[in-house]
Chains A and B, each alone.
Chain A
Amino acid sequence: MNYFPDEVLEHVFDFLTSHRDRNAVSLVCSLWYRVERFSRQRVFIGNCYAISPEKLITRFPGLKSLTLKGKPHFADFNLVPYDWGGYVQPWIEALAKSRIGLEELRLKRMVVSDDSLELLSRSFANFKTLVLVSCEGFTTDGLAAIAANCRFLRELDLQENEIDDHSGHWLSCFPDSCTSLTSLNFACLKGEINLASLERLVARSPNLRSLRLNRAVPLETLQKILMRAPLLVDLGTGSYVHDPDSETYNKLKTTILKCKSIRNLSGFLEVAPRCLPAIFPICLNLTSLNLSYAAGIHGSELIKLIRHCAKLQRLWILDCIGDKGLEVVASTCNELQELRVFPSDPFGVGHDAVTENGLVAISIGCPKLHSLLYFCQQMTNAALITVARNCPNFIRFRLCILDPTRPDPVTMKPLDDGFGAIVQSCKLLRRLSLSGLLTDQVFLYIGMYAEQLEMLSVAFAGDSDKGMLYVLNGCKKLRKLEIRDCPFGNMALLSDVGKYETMRSLWMSSCEVTLWGCKTLAKVMPRLNVEIINEHDQMEICAEDGQRVEKMYLYRTLVGPRKDAPEFVWNL
């Protein structure tokens, strides 16, 4: 290896696109470590508290693209209190102070303030891409700063963020000289939009390929925009409501015929189903369709639409499509690779929900299926076994039975065997979410067969510590484990403490782990942050070691306990 000059090594490393490959390469020898670190441009940090911005900057001076994730996954479901952490400000401050020429920033589950956005917009002359997923803490004022100051901005992609919308003017902050936009997604904004500004912006963005509008953009504007941007590949409609007999609607029908490049379609945040026929002509070309926010489209109309979409590879839909609708999907969309069926009534009893029959139909018609998220009323072992046989290629299998401890309704047995079949058959499975009535047995199967499993989500399952032990001992590639409401305690937690340094994080809430168990673990493993989230003042006063811990989140880190933890988070 000493024979090659650094430039050759660097050139070879250029071919490595995945973070893991580059990480592996850096471990080979100190020469490779050095060459790799100076040539690395893209860094992915799965837990922002595992490392500090200063260390990052020191190691990778050539950094151009950074991805950061903050809060634990269960924060998505309100299990993590509001001020828990995950602030991007220190990262932007550190990067701004350094010589790093940041061009891309992708954040997930982080707290982003308007000040952060303002600082970001002013600190990096070549900043091109901002992607925020499930973030919070900022307003449209922050977006205005990005629009106004990032002269070469290409992508502004806001996915499912909680943004305080002060309405209107941020879009107008894009200067007339800004013509570089390729992707603009503001579907999650709740407020009004300056429609004229939007039209002008689209008109001067010849490279725009992805545009996702919010509810405030009416059909009339959609038509005008599509006239200006017939080369769009990805479209998210805003409000899709009009009188189908109107001239506007007829204009839309004609305009859409010109948009032959659209492959991804989403939105329909408000929809008049009678206007859907306008999009039928482009349905044949669609590879991705997201109707999971289109609550206004009922089952029969959904089905009519889907019959036109023979080339779909990805489909996100609401469960009001029903089992019958899924049968239509199965017979129409034979290229389907990813399916997500969301509950249309997450708080209710779910009368319209889908069952195991829909899933079985899909497994028969869509053999290429590799990613599934399925919210359903019920599931049977027989169905899961059939699905496992028909679709051995699952990489992600997430099943959510709306009643979390429901057994197989036919046999009244736990769903251990069904999930067992899935892990046994799908040898490439990397992500698994369980639900339904489950005993320790399912974990035995997982430990035995799920060799590639990296992320496991468990709720209301298992009988004893053995369940968790099977998983910790068996799944060698496990990186993220999140458990809620299971009878796993200290014995399971402490059985293999070294394991946690091979993982990114462990979440346990409403389990049997006690304060003593957590303290013990923290003492033995200094390179883990063991955090307790304590929402009740009682614990402050009488923190007995024997007391059960409500929420524990532990993660490996190179920088010790974090300094921004709020008072209700204890680092042990």
Chain B
Amino acid sequence: MAFDKELNLEATELRLGLPGTKESEKQPTIAIKSNKRALVPNFNEESCGSKENCNASHLQKCDQEIASPAKAQVVGWPPVRSYRKNCLQAKKMEAEAAGMYLKVSMDGAPYLRKIDLKVYKGYPELLKALEDMFKFSAGEYSEREGYNGSEFVPTYEDKDGDWMLVGDVPWDMFLCSCKRLRIMKGSEARGLGCAV
């Protein structure tokens, strides 16, 4: 079929590109005017290096060669409206870039610290970081009794201005509602730690 044609001419074909690769770039199609916003770099739109009919299997071979590990990106594919693409891209970048810096105070400490909540994947990591930063031990957390066996208790101020015990709500929810952290002294914290 057309496959045979491809193989015969490959050897004599003039292309740009490293020897041994099947990729051929006729004209690097950098569509200067086509994008208002910076978009993904243009993968060669015309993978057919020759004037012959470019067929799908040839193109597929090219795609497969280049497609690993990072997916090669073709202009206009997948056919998603740029508005939608920009929205999703913005959300992704926002999620990845924005740190979530919060103040952390500790009763008795002369100054506050700041931590980036986004860096932690869950409560254990956060608590460990706090313990390291302020040199204390939070003890064991249990839903019923709060933090048992410790002088200090991690608490946080939520969106409504209330002081809550760290660890009660799911992590995602905590991320949404936490405004600042305060490591309370044991005696004061006793009341918080008790089950209602």
Contacts and interface: CB of A to CB of B under 8 A. Distances in A.
A164 to B, nearest CB: 11
A129 B65 CA distance: 52
Interface in B65-113: 67, 71, 73-85, 87-89, 91-92
Contacts of B88: 295, 344-346
B177 A487 contact: no
A568 interface: yes
B173 A243 contact: yes
Nearest to B63: A405
A14 interface: no
Interface in B125-179: 158-160, 170, 172-173, 176-177
B56 to A, nearest CB: 5
Contacts of A489: 53
Interface string A318-356: 000000000000000000000000111111110000000
Contacts of A439: 56
Interface in A431-463: 433, 437-439, 457, 459-463
Contacts of A536: 27
Given A241-B176, A243-B176, A463-B2, A78 B80 contact: no
Given A247-B160, A461-B56, A349 B46 contact: no
Given A247-B160, A535-B32, A347 B40 contact: yes
Interface string B9-50: 000000000000000000101011111100110000110100
A419 to B, nearest CB: 14
B82 A78 contact: yes
The majority secondary structure among interface residues of chain A is: loop
Contacts of A347: 40, 71, 73, 85, 89
Interface in A382-435: 400, 402-407, 414, 433
Interface residues of A, number: 69
A497 interface: no
B119 interface: no
A134 B76 contact: no
A109 B37 CA distance: 17
A544 interface: no
B59 interface: yes
A405 B78 contact: no
Given A77-B76, A437-B56, A459-B77, A485 B159 contact: no
Contacts of B56: 405, 414, 437-439, 460-463
Nearest to A76: B81
Contacts, number: 147
B194 interface: no
Contacts of B172: 272-274
Contacts of A462: 55-56
B58 to A, nearest CB: 9
A80 interface: yes
B160 to A, nearest CB: 5
A439 B48 CA distance: 16
Given A160-B84, A295-B91, A405 B55 contact: no
A4 interface: no
B54 A487 contact: yes
A79 interface: yes
A566 to B, nearest CB: 9
Contact of B80 (A74, A77, A80, A349): A77
A166 to B, nearest CB: 18
Contacts of B84: 160, 292-293, 342, 346
Listed residue (A247, A273, A348, A460) with the most chain B CB atoms within 10 angstroms of its CB: A460
28 contacts: A77-B75, A77-B76, A77-B80, A78-B34, A78-B35, A78-B39, A78-B82, A81-B33, A82-B35, A136-B36, A160-B83, A243-B160, A243-B176, A243-B177, A245-B160, A272-B176, A346-B84, A347-B40, A403-B63, A404-B63, A405-B60, A437-B57, A438-B56, A460-B56, A460-B59, A462-B55, A510-B46, A550-B29
Given A295-B91, A433-B79, 20 more contacts: A74-B76, A76-B79, A76-B81, A78-B39, A78-B75, A82-B35, A134-B83, A162-B82, A162-B83, A243-B177, A247-B160, A272-B173, A274-B170, A293-B87, A344-B88, A345-B92, A346-B88, A462-B56, A485-B46, A512-B54
Interface of B: 2, 27, 29, 31-36, 39-40, 45-46, 48, 51, 53-57, 59-60, 63, 67, 71, 73-85, 87-89, 91-92, 158-160, 170, 172-173, 176-177
